[in-house]
Amino acid sequence: MLPPVPRDYQSATEYRFGENQVNDIIHFAGCRREGFPPCVIWFPQASIPRLRQTNTGARRVVDALSQYQVVASHGLIGLCALLRTRLAATVSLLDFHRVLCTEACALCGDFSGGIVSLPTWSRCCFRCLWAAPETQIRSLGGVRKLFDFSKVQLASLHPFKTLGGICTREAPPQSPRAVVSLHQATLLAGQQKEDCSAYSDNWKGQKYNFLGACELPYYNRRTGEAEHGGIFCAGCELAFEERADKTGDAAAWAVQACDTMLSKEAFLEHFKWCKELPVRCNTHSIFDRTTLDHNPPQPIPSVNTSTNTNTNPQNKLNPTQPNPPPPQKMNLAVFSAKPYDRDFLTLANSTLPTHHTLTFHDFPLTADTAPLASGADAVCVFVNDALSAPVLQTLHAGGTRAILLRCAGYNHVDLAEAERLGLAVANVPAYAPEAVAEFAAALLQTLNRRTHRARGPMLINTSRGGLVRTESVIAALKSKHLGGLALDVYEAEAALFYQDHSAEIIQDDELMRLMTFPNVVVCGHQAFFTEEALTEIAECTMRNLDDFYNRIPCKNALVKEGHVLARRESLPVRI
C-alpha cells in the first residue's frame, strides 16, 4: 500500500534518469530564467534533489533561493522525516519554509515546542497532538477493520510509514508501521461507524500520533537563528514523578505542566509563580553541576515593585544587570539586482551600526516572484519592478513591512494600497543631478555636431519617459520641424531596458521607428550611471532602511502615519 522508492534512486545527490525523461529535463532546463525561480518554490521536496542534478544552472537557481538556503541549513531533521515517511512528495518547498518559520500551534495558537505533525505538515503542540481530530493517526489494519474499507479506498487515504522510537513513558520502543489519518478515514466513511469516537480515544491507538510527528526547529527571521524545541519545567516534572502514586486530581496540575512546553519568554514568567522549581534547584540534580561551576548564573536583577512614584528610577535596576542584547538585524530582499548593486549596497550596509542581511535577486519583482520575498522584513526595488496591489498584498502576507525604492520615481507603486496595508515606502529623491545634467549636455553636443539635421530645435529628455509623446515626436521628425532627438528615458522602457534583448525581436514599433532616424540618439537610462550616483543610491537606500529599523521619521517617506505624502498625479522633482 505504501508508495515504493523511485526506481534508479541511489541517494539524495545521485539519481539516474531514464531515457524517456531526458527530453523533458532538457526542455525544462531551457526555460527562461525569469520564470524559473518562482515555480521552483512550489515543487515538492522529493523533486528538489532531482532538479539539482539536471544541470549546473538548475543547481545554481535552487541554491540561490532564500527558502532553500533556510531549509538546507535548519530543516534537515524535518526533511529527513518526510523522506523516511515518503511524504516528501506532498510538501512543497514553500510550505516547508512557511512551517519552519512558524512558532505557534496551527490548531490552538499556543507555543508548539518545535513539534510538527507530518500528515498535516503543520505546527502542533502536545495537547493538540494528543486530542485534536486532525492529528489522529491509526494503523492501516485497524482502520480497515473498523470501516471495512476496500483496497481502493485505503489507497485514497495516502497511507505512510511512521518513524520508529519511544513515543510515551509507558510504551516500549516502536518500530515503523503503516498508518493512515483517522480524520480522513472518518470523512471518507461518512461517519458510518458509531464506535469511531471510542476508537479515537483508545490509548493504544493514540501512540501513533507521536510516531507521526517529529522535531522541527523554529527559524526566527529577524535574528536569523534557529530555536530548537522548548523548555519543560523541571520542578513540575519532578513533582509529577513523586505524586504519580496519588490520585489523578491531586496531580492534575502537575500532569498538565509536565506536558506543556514553554518558550524562553514563557519560562521566565512560569518561574515567577512555580513553587516547585526553586526548591528542586537546591535539592535535586536538575542542572549539570560541572556546567554551573564553570558558568555561574548571573544574579537576577532586583526590580522595585513599590507603587511610590517618587522613587528614583535609576535605583530600580540592580547595577549588576547585564547590558541589553544588541538589536536584531533585518532581512532585506533586493530585486532587479545587478552586480554593481550588490557591490554598492553591500558596502553601504557595512557602514551601518547594524549589519542587515541582504538577499539579492537578479530578476524583477512581479506577481510571480513576490512569494520569493517571504520572510523579508523589507524589499528593495527598481523602476522596472511592478508593485501593484496584488504584489503588495503578497508581500504583506509574507511579513514584509517596508518598500525601499532605489530610484526617484514611484509611479510603479500603488501608494493607496500601501497606505491601506500599513507599508512604509521611501524613495531616493535626488541622487545624480550633476551626472544627469552633464549627460544631457553631452547629448546636446552629439546632436549638434555629429548628426545631419534641418534647422529646428533639439529635444533632449533625461527625466521621465512619459513627458514625451512618441507618436508626436515621430511626426515632428518626419516633417523636419524637430531637428534632433536624444532620449535617455522612454515611456515603455520597463520591458526593454536593463535586460539583454540582443537575441530577441523587439516588439515596440515606435522605438524601432525612432532608431531609423539619423538625428535620434537613444540611451538605455544611463545618465545616472556614475560611481557617485550609485554610491548615493545605495547609502540613501540603507539610510531609509535604518530609519525604518529604528522607528524614526524618514524624510524620504512616501507613506507616513496613514497618509500618502506623494501625489499620484505629480512627478518627483530632482533637486
Hunting for cell 522549581 — which residue is that? 277
What element of type H or E holds 83?
helix 76-85
350 lies in a domain? yes
At 460, the amino acid letter reads I
- Of residues 237, 493, 536, 539, which has the active-site annotation? 493
Largest CA distance in the chain: 107
b/e map 345-381, b = 16+ CB within 10 Å: beebbeeeeeebbbbbbbbbbbebbbbbbbbbbbbbb
What pLDDT was estimated at residue 391?
Answer: 94
Question: pTM of the prediction?
Answer: 0.47
- Among 59, 61, 47, smallest CA distance to 96 is for 47
Write down the pLDDT at residue 213.
86
- CB distance 565 to 558 below 8 Å: yes
Told to judge if 464 belongs to the known catalytic residues of this protein, a careful annotator would answer yes
Task: State how far Cα 542 lies from the chain centre.
Answer: 20
Q: Output the domain CATH number for residue 474.
A: 3.40.50.720
Residue with cell 530632482: 574
The radius of gyration computed from the CA coordinates of the chain, to the nearest angstrom, equals: 31
Q: Are residues 397 and 458 both part of a single domain?
A: no
CB 88 within 8 A of CB 5: no
User: Is 493 an annotated catalytic residue?
Assistant: yes
Expressed as residue numbers, the domain containing 439 is: 433-522
* Contact (Cβ atoms closer than 8 angstroms) between residue 29 and residue 57: yes
For helices 234-242 and 276-283, what crossing angle results, to 10°?
80
501 in the same domain as 453: yes
Is there a single domain that holds both residue 451 and residue 414? no
Please report, in tens digits, the pLDDT of each residue of the chain (575 residues total). Answer: 444 544 544 444 455 556 555 555 555 555 555 555 567 888 888 888 888 877 777 788 888 888 888 898 888 888 888 888 888 888 998 899 999 988 888 888 777 778 888 888 998 888 888 788 888 888 888 888 888 888 787 777 778 888 777 666 556 677 788 888 888 888 877 754 444 444 544 545 567 778 888 888 888 887 778 887 667 676 666 666 666 555 554 444 444 545 566 666 666 666 666 666 665 555 444 344 333 344 444 443 433 333 333 333 333 333 344 444 444 678 999 998 888 888 899 888 888 877 888 999 888 898 888 988 888 999 999 988 889 999 999 999 988 999 999 988 888 899 989 988 889 999 988 776 777 777 778 777 776 765 555 567 888 888 777 788 888 888 888 888 888 888 888 887 777 776 777 777 888 888 888 888 888 888 877 777 778 888 888 888 888 888 888 888 888 888 865 455 554 444 444 33
- What is the β-pairing status of strands 225-227 and 402-405? unpaired
Co-location of 420 and 337 in the same domain: yes
Task: Domain count for the chain, please give it.
Answer: 3
Is there a single domain that holds both residue 427 and residue 537? yes
Same domain, 425 and 437: no
Examine residue 527 and state whether it is found in any structural domain, yes or no. Answer: no
Q: Which of 84, 98, 342, 464 is catalytic?
A: 464
403 is a domain residue = yes
Q: How buried is residue 453: exposed, middle or buried, by Cβ count under 10 Å (0-12/13-18/19+)? A: middle
Q: Could you tell me which residues are beta bridge partners of residue 442?
A: none
**What is the rounded CA–CA span in Å between residue 124 and residue 327?**
30
With vertex at residue 408, the alpha carbon angle to CA 403 and CA 411, rounded to the nearest 5 degrees, is: 70
